[in-house]
Structure 1
Amino acid sequence: MSGLPAGWTFSASAFNITPEVVRAERTAPDLALTLVERGLASAIEVELGQLWRGYPAATLDEARALRERLDAVGGRVSIVGVSIDEWDGHRRRDDDERLAFLEPQLRTSAALGAHGVRLPIGQAGALLERALPLLEELDLVLFEEAQGHQTPAASPEAYARIAEIDSLHVRLLLDISMLMPALPVTYLEELARGGVDPTLVALLRDRWREPETHGAVIDHLRSGRVPGQVHTLYMNLLVRFGRSDIADVASVLPLLGAVHLKFWDLDDSDDRLSDPLRDVGTALGATGFTGTLCSEWGGQEWLDDDPWEMTSRHLALAAALLSDRPPSASLQRASTP
């Protein structure tokens, strides 16, 4: 998109259209293709396990066919979501077996023409070093994704491993769900409708980033008072929703190769959507970042909005904000001696 710094590329995640994949009126590859066909983005992220039923076995012919279809409409795959199944059904896999589980996924991703693959930060562990020759052979980057509560302070060893490997084939992917100044309005409404204690909902609404709020969330869960119908949704408070500031990740930004512009809804009350975008844009500009910035919609868990419209509107907002990046107050604080 015009106005973005050189080397920055907007992309859209096929995860955004998961509800349509579940409806199964069209195949997952067909639906992924619509993100390009409708002009939302020329680069897309895909989830290997969502595309083909043969996962995790190699689907090289199917991957090449999708790559050709994307090429025909001016699109490409940026990053592929892969996984490591730690158990074989009876016992924990050793590192040889873990690498054997991952390798066909890497080869399929290369056949798709992807720039890289994505795993949760820390999951690969020592497998990062062992996979490096294969990543180099396939010319793939393995991105370790940090989101929610997975700050450098919470997982210092995982971040340190990326730095120690010091390879362009192993990089960090930052999900801005780590930088939420407030919770999504629609999420709080869903908790309230589901019967969560109004006092706790008010605390979550007004004091999300305060340390005692996290304690209240855990206490409420342990008490057994979370209604069953919203129990899974409630767990986002402990896993997917972060409360950090951009200054909390400043030390690891040089490791960054990609960003997930996570959003939940499009309610920008008090700039709860805009501020993280502005902050990360300013930080990336200061560190000379190059890579993809991917629109990823997480609110499909409780919203029934049109995924293409949500993605389009979010990308338009992000383009406007990231093309005009005044210094944020948080970054100014971080740079003050």
Structure 2
Amino acid sequence: MSASAFNWTPEVIRAERPAADIAVGIAADGVASTIEVEAGQVWRSFPEPSDAEVDAFRERLAAAGGAVSIVGASLDDWASPTRRRTEEERLAFLVPQLRAAARAGARGVRVPFGQPGPELLRLAQPVLDELGVVLYEEIQGQQTLDVPAVAANLEQLVQLDDPRIRVLIDISMLMPALPPSYLEELRRGGVDEELVRRLETEWRAPETHRAVIETLREGRVPPAVHTLFMNLLVRFGRSDIAELEPLLPLTSGVHLKFWDLDDTDGRVSRPIGDIGAALRRTGFAGTLTSEWGGHEWLDADPATTTRSHLDLARRALAAASVAAR
């Protein structure tokens, strides 16, 4: 069980103390002993983290009783606004981050699902093997396996069958209902009440999805909540665990994504139990990371919130384990 330093993003933005100090504090304060970090947040020398900066961070984290699980990497596909990087240039952009992750003692680095593509994966394989790190492709939110590009990428991963290239599932794909705190923000922002009520009671219905798109196309989203509204089309998923079955044999990491801690009808705990039970059948031995996305609209203490979520997650996983016996 890990905690993501992403949960502390509001503190990073306020910049009252360095991002590396905030990340080390997660372990020092006893929130979690293993943490997932974002390379672009903790290392000022990013995208080519210096050995000295990486070493200093690793040593400070170890002194606090902590270690890095996964490093969130970046793959910038464009050398300029008009020129896309070649595959060799894309690899050259990624390799310093792979080396930094290995130096930090991480299991590997995380990139968006499908972004590397087959040629970059082929070029990266010997580097991953040399460094002993894993490249995780993260699938999340509204991504589904019935989309041709997603299905094709999964097939490529199956064909590669390389233990150094694996999937990370974000359980934002498995949302049975929307977070109440989010719906309240939409209401306060002036989104049509009829649509909010539909989102509240019929989140997974295809008709609700069509209503969201129509509202956007017709310009009926108040400007103040436009960015927040886009979560409905990107970050919030409506899949069932059975639909993720083809991913499970390749999965070595999970983001236990949550938005708030309102667990009415198991809206937070049920997806955790579902993914835990499913992965139990595959012999999963990877990382389970608490990742909080609700700081986008909630002003809450990240340490307290993450501790509470980790406690909830442990209970949900334990219950799923008992049920499976």
- Flag whether TM exceeds 0.5 (same fold): yes
| Alpha-carbon separation, structure 2, partners of 1:57 and 1:276 | 36
- Quote the residue 2:215 is aligned against: 220
Letter in 2 for 1:141: V
Identity of aligned residues (%): 58
1:278 to partner: Cα distance? 1.1
User: Does residue 1:259 correspond to 2:251, yes or no?
Assistant: no
| Alpha-carbon separation, structure 1, partners of 2:158 and 2:57 | 34
Q: 5+ residue gaps in structure 1?
A: 1-9, 332-337
- Quote the residue 1:125 is aligned against: 117
User: Does residue 1:27 correspond to 2:22, yes or no?
Assistant: no
Q: Secondary structure at the match of 1:108?
A: helix
- Quote the residue 2:183 is aligned against: 188
Q: Secondary structure at the match of 1:45?
A: strand
Letter in 2 for 1:42: S
- Quote the residue 2:144 is aligned against: 151
- Quote the residue 1:285 is aligned against: 280
Q: 1:80 aligns with which of 63, 66, 71?
A: 71
| Alpha-carbon separation, structure 2, partners of 1:106 and 1:91 | 24
| Alpha-carbon separation, structure 1, partners of 2:306 and 2:112 | 23
- Quote the residue 1:320 is aligned against: 315
Contact 2:133 2:164 survives alignment (8 Å): yes
1:78 to partner: Cα distance? 0.5
Contact 1:60 1:107 survives alignment (8 Å): no
Q: Secondary structure at the match of 2:54?
A: helix
Contact 2:43 2:54 survives alignment (8 Å): no
Q: 5+ residue gaps in structure 2?
A: none
Letter in 2 for 1:125: G
Q: Secondary structure at the match of 1:240?
A: coil
User: Does residue 1:273 correspond to 2:268, yes or no?
Assistant: yes
Letter in 1 for 2:128: L
1:327 to partner: Cα distance? 8.2
| Alpha-carbon separation, structure 1, partners of 2:321 and 2:206 | 29
User: Does residue 1:100 correspond to 2:95, yes or no?
Assistant: no
1:214 to partner: Cα distance? 1.0
Q: How does 1:47-66 map to 2 (within 5 A)?
A: 47-66=38-57
Letter in 2 for 1:64: D
Contact 2:125 2:164 survives alignment (8 Å): yes
- Quote the residue 2:31 is aligned against: 40
| Alpha-carbon separation, structure 2, partners of 1:275 and 1:57 | 40
| Alpha-carbon separation, structure 2, partners of 1:107 and 1:243 | 36
User: Does residue 1:114 correspond to 2:106, yes or no?
Assistant: yes
Q: Relative contact order (C-alpha < 8 Å, sep 6+): which is higher?
A: 1
Contact 1:16 1:298 survives alignment (8 Å): yes
TM-score (norm 2): 0.96
- Quote the residue 2:135 is aligned against: 142
Query: How has the CA–CA distance of structure 1 residues 38 and 87 changed in structure 2, closer, same or farther, with 3 Å as cutoff?
Result: same
Query: How has the CA–CA distance of structure 1 residues 254 and 25 changed in structure 2, closer, same or farther, with 3 Å as cutoff?
Result: same
- Over residues 63-113 of structure 1, what are the superposed CA-to-partner deviations in whole Å (9 max), with x where a residue is unaligned? 111111121122110000001111112311111111111111111111111
Tell me the number of residue pairs that the alignment of Structure 1 and Structure 2 aligns: 320
- Over residues 112-164 of structure 1, what are the superposed CA-to-partner deviations in whole Å (9 max), with x where a residue is unaligned? 11111000000000211210100011100000000011122221011111111
Q: 1:306 aligns with which of 271, 280, 301?
A: 301
User: Does residue 1:243 correspond to 2:235, yes or no?
Assistant: no
Q: Secondary structure at the match of 2:281?
A: helix
Contact 1:282 1:327 survives alignment (8 Å): no
- Quote the residue 1:71 is aligned against: 62
Q: Secondary structure at the match of 1:80?
A: strand
TM-score (norm 1): 0.93
Letter in 1 for 2:5: A
Q: Secondary structure at the match of 2:287?
A: strand
Aligned-residue RMSD, C-alpha: 1.3
